[in-house]
Structure 1
Amino acid sequence: MRVAIVHDWLVTYAGAERVLAELIEMFPDADLFSVIDFLADEDRSRLGGKRATTTFIQSLPGAASRYRNYLPLMPLAIEQLDLSGYDLVISSSHAVAKGVLTGPDQLHVSYVHSPIRYAWDMQHQYLRESGLTRGMKSWLIRWLLHRMRVWDARTAAGVDRFVCNSAFIGRRVAKVYGRTSSVVYPPVDIDRFDMVEAKEDFYFTASRLVPYKQVGLIAEAFARMPDRKLVVVGDGPEAPKVRKVAGNNVQYLGYQPDAVLRDLMSRARAFVFAAEEDFGIIPVEAQACGTPVIAYGKGGSLETVIGEGDAATGVFFHEQSVDAICEAVERFERNRFSAAACRANSERFSARRFREEMAGVIDASLAERSVR
């Protein structure tokens, strides 16, 4: 059986690329395809050294750094990849990878991190955060996103089996594509983290400092609670907002290497997470350290954090506001959480479990096809 694995783009190594690495581990002889491939050598080694067959966008000016500017061309580009010689096509898609062309005798399994967020239900948020709510440029972007939605919905018919990274994304797939899906949670490298039972008297948050992560909101909330210490790690366009409220009890450290992040996460009283994520790997990593989570109760967090019962691993707040975060911290302080329970919950998301469940979905899909 010849296998092709298709990924949107290869520029950095993040959550989607961790999924890709496990798919390559499952199918080491598979051929890799992507819109572009500018991955650094260190990151490429995590993909078994594979280089992707790319599209014409690879050769366009500035593609390595400004590849998102070419999004309107990506549907055309992904359709030019010739996958006709493969029996099994696995796409890892949060943008256009699921749109590859396959024939009736090929099985296409698409692992969906999300339908294109900024084209569907998050379009208005994207336009606001990009300053594109008015003017001719705004209308041009809206028209392009409309065309992207039409293409994205149409190409869903070319997928034989959808697999989603959370039930939350499964509901999004059902709404925009009208399709059912299986849920296989993405792999988290639990073994990188040591469980620490003795916690220190500070709270911790870490993220790329971009608007939807709401790290500035967390910092504002803790500035209102001078008796609670918060440590913030991360960098990005929201950094000035965090620096502005940093003070005696809010310590902003900027970017820190992985070893520092893991150390802080393992010693923290709790990890605070205010984003609405499709899945959200970092709350799982915190729990792998035995650290409970104070999380926004929407999206993937509802599936990765246990908010009640004897095995609770954190508390939820249900509004992205300073008051809601403050109230959640006070609620957290009135409860006790077991480091062992946090660690046990995190192990539901191991890499081995991911491979086993994906193999099960693919084997079942192949069996169904052979019966037909």
Structure 2
Amino acid sequence: MTRIAVVHDWLTTYAGAERVLEQILQLYPQADLFSVCDFLPEAERAFLGGRQPKTTFIQKLPGARRRYRSYLSLMPLAIEQLDLSSYDLVISSSHAVAKGVLTGPDQVHVSYVYTPLRYAWDLQHQYLRESGMTRGLKSWLARYLLHRIRQWDVRTANGVDVFVTSSSYIARRIRKAYRRDAIVVPPPVDIDGFAPGPTRQTYYLTASRLVPYKRVDLIVSAFARMPGRSLKVVGAGPEYERIAALAAGHDHIEMLGYQGADELAALMGEAKAFVFAAEEDFGIAPVEAQAAGAPVIAYGRGGARETVVEGRTGLFFEAQTPESLIAAVERFELAGVSFSEQACRTHAEQFSVGAFRARFAAVVEQAMAAHDA
């Protein structure tokens, strides 16, 4: 029997990367699980299937439960201490350091990379600005550590036999950083939880965690200038108060706060269209909206270019400005009747959980066959 190890960066919450990990673990129920650290709340552990992950020394460092990211400079060393020498197949699930595990010539290493480590590569300068480290000794120390992490990141790419990623957008980032090609396997989206509602209403909908890069402020600012177009905003987060202030005084904009899965599915099932202004690696929410039969008006950069078909399941706007979004909404109003619920739903089905499992399993099988050959 093939001995399989699955390696994940860190286990602290059940989010997008963990949904991919969940399906990998279900595909390979015999696999052992490894991670830099494991601080998952008990209520979110079910997707591990009863596994107790094997962790690194980061797990026991002071304050790691709350500040594990502050140990980033030690994580390359930590991940290399995991002994995987007894396994035939190693699958890493990596947005930071998991791809850097040590493997030998008789092992196959397939790495699902969500993105090359962002704050060490093209977002370094943004990271330093947001951390208040643009000058002084701390700034130079951070720059040196990020430089060393980049060197390690490139070197460890040589230990991966097959790269897999979520979109062509991220495949280009992998090519830029590592000079390696990656096979695109879109992440699993639980489209079965979404369906068209009984009637399509007149409101537009946006839903996300309210953090700056999601650009919900842009959406609200645009609709504040369109009193004839109603907007519902779903989500909570640190930007809530600021966005609510932008919506204040505009009766056609409704702040709904956090909504559960069933409530969100119902809102998507009746929305006139879903509005998405972020530049995401993939973007699950637009796929969920299409599964609910709603067309998408999206910023035309990043993963949205691969999950929305312009003219068939939605429209794009080309700049992250209220003016560009307003123009797209007006174009949508003129063409709205041409977007069918069935076309949106059919397109979303290619991103289902079943589709992910079939594609990922095929990649692994091909990698094993190539190694055996």
Shorter-chain TM-score: what band? over 0.9
* CA RMSD after TM alignment: 1.3
Asked if 1 retains the 8 angstrom alpha-carbon contact of 2:91 and 2:112, the reply is yes
**Which has the higher mean CA deviation after the structures are superposed, 20-29 or 238-247?**
238-247
Is 1:138 the counterpart of 2:146 in the alignment? no
Q: Determine helix, strand or coil for the equivalent of 2:87.
A: coil
Match in the other structure for 1:67: 68
How far apart, CA to CA, are the structure 2 residues paired with 1:138 and 1:251? 42
In structure 1, C-alpha distance between the alignment counterparts of 2:280 and 2:245, rounded to whole Å:
25
Residue 288 (structure 1) aligned to one of 291, 303, 307: 291
Give the SS at the match of 1:303: helix
Q: CA deviation at 1:295?
A: 0.5
Mapped to 1, the partners of 2:131 and 2:293 lie a distance apart of 37
Which residue of structure 1 lines up, in the alignment, with residue 334 of structure 2?
334
Instruction: State the match for 1:253 in structure 2.
Output: 256
> What is the letter of the counterpart of residue 254 of structure 1?
G
Which residue of structure 1 lines up, in the alignment, with residue 367 of structure 2? Answer: 365
Task: Quote the Cα distance in structure 2 between the aligned partners of 1:134 and 1:331.
Answer: 46
1:227 equivalent to 2:228? Answer yes
State the 1:13 CA deviation.
Answer: 0.6
Partner SS, residue 65 of structure 1: helix
Contact 1:196 1:339 in 2 (8 A): no
Preserved CA contact (<8 Å) 1:189 1:350: yes
* Cα distance in 2 between the residues matched to 1:43 and 1:293: 30
Describe how 1:113-152 pairs up with structure 2 within 5 A.
Answer: 113-152=114-153
Closer/same/farther in 2, CA of residues 341 and 263 from structure 1, 3 Å limit: same
Other-structure match for 2:55:
54
TM-fit CA distance, 1:35: 0.7
1:345 aligns with 2:347: yes
8 Å contact kept, 1:210–1:237: yes
Task: Give the distance between the partners of 1:198 and 1:296, measured in 2 at CA.
Answer: 26
The one-letter amino acid of 2:176's match is K
CA distance, structure 2, for counterparts of residue 170 and residue 157 of structure 1: 16
Report the counterpart of residue 113 of structure 2 in structure 1.
112
Paired residue for 2:159?
158
AA at the equivalent of 2:119 = Y
What is the rounded CA distance, in whole Å, between the counterparts of 2:300 and 2:197 in structure 1? 25
Structure 1 stretch displaced more, 253-262 or 156-165: 253-262
How far the C-alpha of 1:255 sits from its partner, in A, is 2.0
Give, in whole Å, the separation in 1 of the partners of 2:154 and 2:31: 27
SS at match of 2:125: helix
Shift of 1:358: 0.9
State the alpha-carbon separation in 2 of the partners of residues 172 and 219 from structure 1.
31
Question: Which amino acid is 2:32 matched to?
Answer: D
Structure 2 partner of 1:303: 306
Name the SS of the counterpart of 1:199 in structure 2: coil
Match of 1:313 in 2: 313
CA drift of 1:250 comes to 1.9
One-letter code aligned to 1:79: E
In 2, Cα distance between equivalents of 1:370 and 1:167:
28
Q: Is the 8 A contact 1:129 1:211 kept in 2?
A: no
Q: Which residue number corresponds to residue 202 of structure 2?
A: 201
Of the structure 1 ranges 233-242 and 103-112, higher mean CA displacement relative to structure 2 is found in: 233-242
DSSP-derived class of the 1:66 partner = helix
Q: Given that residues 34 and 55 in structure 2 are in contact (C-alpha distance below 8 angstroms), is that contact kept between their aligned partners in structure 1?
A: yes
Counterpart AA for 1:180? D
> 2:164 is matched by which residue type in structure 1?
V
Counterpart contact for 2:166–2:185, Cα < 8 Å: yes
Partner of 1:265: 268
- Per the alignment, in what secondary structure is the counterpart of residue 164 of structure 2? strand
| Structure 2 counterpart of 1:328, one-letter code | A
Q: Which moved more, 1:167-176 or 1:44-53?
A: 44-53
- The 8 Å contact of residues 3 and 86 in structure 1, kept in 2 or not, is answered as yes
Report the alpha carbon displacement of residue 143 of structure 1 after superposing the two structures with TM.
2.3
* Pairwise CA distance, 1:206: 1.2
Alignment length, in residue pairs? Answer: 368
Higher mean displacement: 201-210 or 30-39: 201-210
Q: CA deviation at 1:71?
A: 1.1
Structure 2 gaps, min length 5 = none
- Report the AA paired with residue 362 of structure 2: G
C-alpha contact 1:197 1:290 (8 A) present in aligned 2: no
Tell me the distance in 2 between the aligned counterparts of 1:40 and 1:296: 34
Residues 141-150 or 203-212, more deviating: 141-150
Is the 1:294–1:316 Cα contact (8 Å) retained in structure 2?
yes
Larger CA deviation: 57-66 vs 275-284 = 57-66
Tell me whether 234-243 or 70-79 shows the greater mean CA deviation. 234-243
Deviation for aligned residue 1:197: 5.9
Structure 1 unmatched ranges of 5 or more: none
Give the whole-Å Cα distance in 2 for the aligned partners of 1:238 and 1:129: 15
Given the superposition, is the C-alpha separation of residues 105 and 28 from structure 1 closer, same or farther in structure 2, using an over 3 Å criterion?
A: same
TM-score after normalising by structure 2? 0.95
Identity of aligned residues (%): 61
In structure 2, the CA distance between the partners of 1:228 and 1:131, relative to structure 1 (3 Å rule), is farther
TM-score (norm: length of structure 1): 0.96
Corresponding letter in the other structure for 1:334: L
Partner of residue 193, structure 2: 192
Q: Which residue of 1 aligns with 2:215?
A: 214
